[in-house]
């Protein structure tokens, strides 16, 4: 009985860890400019979102409105259920919102990648990653 409860608690915990949306920013460029136009560097941004899908149906995905983060106090993982946030539009919105909040007025060299990885029979991990340079 105790084993069944422990397994159930572990499974529930894993469900909440299945989706994650995050944005990381690099600001160390050793005096080099990100743009040749003489604008001011704000940062290089990398945004990623992933989630668990049953065939093409989203089960648990990262919440692009409440970005997950790692702080001194620990890690916050914000997930949504049955909502497809693992797509280019959601990740682009997340990346540009963070860059704009940091003072960027222009996004340059935007690139993205998408992937689907089979986990078990009909379960997939879908991932979207996007990177860009923010300048002002």
pLDDT at position 17: 56
Q: What is the mean pLDDT of residues 34-51?
A: 89
70 band by pLDDT with thresholds 50, 70 and 90: low
Q: Per the structure, how many domains does the chain have?
A: 1
State the residue range of the domain holding 92: 2-135
Structure tokens at 37: 């136009």
Does the pLDDT value for residue 13 go beyond 60?
Answer: no
Strands of the chain, DSSP E? 20-26, 41-54, 57-62, 69-71, 74-76, 79-81, 106-120, 123-135
Q: What percent of the chain has pLDDT over 90?
A: 57
Task: Please say if the pLDDT value at position 31 is more than 90.
Answer: no
The Cα 134–Cα 136 span in angstroms is: 7
pLDDT digits (tens, 9 = 90+) for 15-29: 555 678 889 999 888
**Position 89 pLDDT exceeds 80:** yes
Q: In whole angstroms, what is the distance from residue 48 CA to residue 88 CA?
A: 10
The tens digit of pLDDT for each residue in 91-131 reads 999 999 999 999 999 999 999 999 999 988 899 999 999 99
The three-state secondary structure class of 68 is coil
Tokens, residue 26: 């690099």
Residue 9's pLDDT band (cuts 50, 70, 90):
low
> Strand, coil or helix: what is 108?
strand
Mean pLDDT score of the chain, rounded to an integer?
A: 86
Contact residues for 21 (Cβ-Cβ < 8 A; gap 6+)? 47, 48, 49, 61, 62, 63, 64, 67, 68, 78, 85, 90, 91, 94
Which residues share a beta bridge with 25? 45
* pLDDT of amino acid 66: 87
∠ Cα 89 47 127 (to 5°): 70
**Torsion sign over Cα 82, 87, 93, 99:** positive
Is the model more confident about 86 or about 75? 86
């Amino acid at each position: 009985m105790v084993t069944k409860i422990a397994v159930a608690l572990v499974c529930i915990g894993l469900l909440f860890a299945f989706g994650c949306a995050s944005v990381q920013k690099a600001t160390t460029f050793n005096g080099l400019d990100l743009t040749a136009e003489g604008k001011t560097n704000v940062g290089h941004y990398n945004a990623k979102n992933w989630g668990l899908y049953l065939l093409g149906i989203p089960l648990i995905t990262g919440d692009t409105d409440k970005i997950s983060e790692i702080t001194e106090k620990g890690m916050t993982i914000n997930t949504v259920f049955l909502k497809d946030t693992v797509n280019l539009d959601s990740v682009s919105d997340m990346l540009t919102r963070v860059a704009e909040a940091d003072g960027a007025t222009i996004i340059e060299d935007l690139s993205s990648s998408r992937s689907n990885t089979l986990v078990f029979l009909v379960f997939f991990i879908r991932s979207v990653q996007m990177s860009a340079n923010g300048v002002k």
